[in-house]
Amino acid sequence: MTDLNHTSMKSVAIIGSGPAGYTAAIYAARAGLDVTLYEGMQPGGQLTTTTSVENYPGYPNGVLGPQMMEDFRNQAQNMGADIQSATITGVNFSASPFQLMVNNTTQVTAQIVIIATGASAKWLGHPAEQRLQGKGVSACATCDGFFFREQEVVVVGGGDTAAEEACYLANLCSKIHLLVRSGKMRASHAMQQRVLQQEKITTHFHTEIEDILGEDAVTGVKVFNKQTQTSQTLPVEGVFIAIGHQPNTSLFTPYLDIDAQGYIQTVPGSTRTNIPGVFAAGDVQDSVYRQAVTAAGTGCMAALEAERFLSNSLLA
């Protein structure tokens, strides 16, 4: 990391601004710690790309994802957290206090770092996919499946995520087309069996999306079968991309233990990483649940563990 002329010391630096980061900020600031949260390039995180959130407790009529994140942010700020519209572009965890580079220009140090950078859903990269995100194209059946009740939808992917999403949607939708690009699914045997047992799911092997149709809403999907070299249009209103998630860990890989899927490894039942004083919360360390409420829960855990860590450091 380059030398810079401005360095300021923080007690707790939180990297990331989804439910995990903001909740960590609420708890840590309320405990009287000096908290700075760096929002990153997508303030509010993945929830800002979704519409109504109906499964977060406390909102009986649901809430728009961006609104919920604004509520979290305001609450963190009201508790005294310093929220910076800035991105951490580099870290040095080789010694404590830890060094963080802000926007490639300013260096800060922190006694505690809570990483809450989340995971990003992988997308196919079709232009129509981006245009129709939130208008029929989604990467989260648990979040958005409800809007497609009794409708026909497509799920793309052949792994456990796609199998789970397809089975979840089978309880809501009238028909699910599961598009698998190769001749076999990568999902576990048990999940493949569940897919097979669902009458509403039709699996199309060797099949990829050619185009997603519709201007302001999805009206169909044109698919191409590589084996038969034929195209057809499926009359669907929803498209769920389930080809995996990429945890946002690239900054931390030189220092932290990362699992085979790229998630930060934490000590089971805690948010502690392999570096004392560095904690990880939310989707960046969770490949299983990936829900706003579980992310918020681990954000709370990280703040409590950080508080204890600081108290023990003072006593030492």
Q: Which of helix, strand or coil describes residue 126? A: coil
276 vs 20, 34, 68, 103, 230, CA distance in Å? Answer: 19, 19, 32, 25, 56
Determine if 164 is a binding residue for ligand NDP (CB under 6 A): yes
Distance CA 72, CA 14 (A): 14
The tokens for 43 are 């303030």
For helices 65-78 and 19-30, give the axis angle rounded to 10 degrees: 20
Q: How many residues does the chain have?
A: 316
Determine if 161 is a binding residue for ligand NDP (CB under 6 A): yes
Q: Which span sits near ligand NDP by CB under 6 A: 81-89, 222-230, 239-247, 267-275?
A: 239-247
CB atoms within 10 A of CB 309: 18
Give the CB-nearest residue to ligand NDP.
Answer: 159
Determine if 159 is a binding residue for ligand NDP (CB under 6 A): yes
Render 42-62 in DSSP notation, one character per residue.
Answer: STTGGGGG-SEE-SSTT-TT-
Determine if 126 is a binding residue for ligand NDP (CB under 6 A): no
Catalytic residue among 140, 167, 173, 300: 140
Member of 244, 247, 297, 299 binding ligand NDP (CB under 6 A): 244
Determine if 156 is a binding residue for ligand NDP (CB under 6 A): yes
Determine if 287 is a binding residue for ligand NDP (CB under 6 A): yes
CB of 182 to ligand NDP, least distance (A): 4
Q: Which span sits near ligand NDP by CB under 6 A: 62-70, 79-87, 243-251, 268-276?
A: 243-251
Active site residue 143: yes
CB of 127 to ligand NDP, least distance (A): 15
Determine if 160 is a binding residue for ligand NDP (CB under 6 A): yes
Determine if 157 is a binding residue for ligand NDP (CB under 6 A): yes
Active site residue 211: no
107 alpha-carbon distance from chain centroid: 27
Q: Which span sits near ligand NDP by CB under 6 A: 84-92, 130-138, 242-250, 306-314?
A: 242-250
Q: Which of 87, 36, 50, 15 is nearest to 240 (CA)?
A: 50
Distance CA 136, CA 212 (A): 10
Catalytic residues: 140, 143-144
Binding stretches for ligand NDP (CB under 6 A) = 124, 156-162, 164, 181-182, 186, 243-245, 261, 287
